[in-house]
């Protein structure tokens, strides 16, 4: 699966008490072997909480937002990662605008202290 693809995924709660189908971004390498992918969690952006250094705001007012396939503004949480098998994904939504790829990389490096 291509890096930068938005997918619908059953995303586990951090305390493992359940899961919810949510949009997520594929952050693993496109040429990764096997059928697992590393995903970053997205949440609806409500504008009330301060952004963390690992957060990337995706505003629906941006010119390239339509290519994401998301319904509205979202917060990409690059410190909320999970590895899942592609067989449990519910489909692809769209793609990360090319202009934001570097922003994702910067936040992943920060989240993982690389």
pLDDT in tens, 22-70: 999 999 999 999 999 999 999 988 877 789 999 999 999 999 999 999 9
Largest CA distance in the chain: 40
Question: Residue 70 and residue 40: Cα distance in Å, rounded?
Answer: 14
Cβ-contact 93, 22 below 8 angstroms: no
Question: Residue 73 and residue 80: Cα distance in Å, rounded?
Answer: 18
Its domain, for residue 69, covers: 5-112
- CATH number at 89 reads 2.30.30.110
Q: List residues bridging with 95 in a β-sheet.
A: 5
Provide the number of structural domains found in the chain. 1
pLDDT, tens digit (0-9, with 9 covering 90-100), for 40-51: 999 988 877 789
């Amino acid at each position: 699966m291509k890096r930068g693809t938005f997918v619908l995924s059953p995303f586990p709660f951090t305390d493992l008490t359940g899961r919810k189908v949510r949009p997520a971004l594929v952050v693993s390498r496109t040429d990764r072997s096997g059928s697992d992918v590393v995903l970053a969690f997205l949440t609806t952006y409500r504008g009330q909480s301060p952004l963390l250094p690992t957060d990337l705001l995706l505003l629906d007012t941006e010119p390239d937002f339509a290519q994401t396939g998301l319904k509205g503004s979202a917060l990409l949480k690059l410190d909320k990662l999970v590895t899942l098998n592609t067989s449990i994904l519910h489909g692809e939504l769209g793609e990360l605008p090319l202009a934001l790829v570097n922003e994702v990389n910067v936040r992943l490096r920060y989240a993982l202290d690389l």
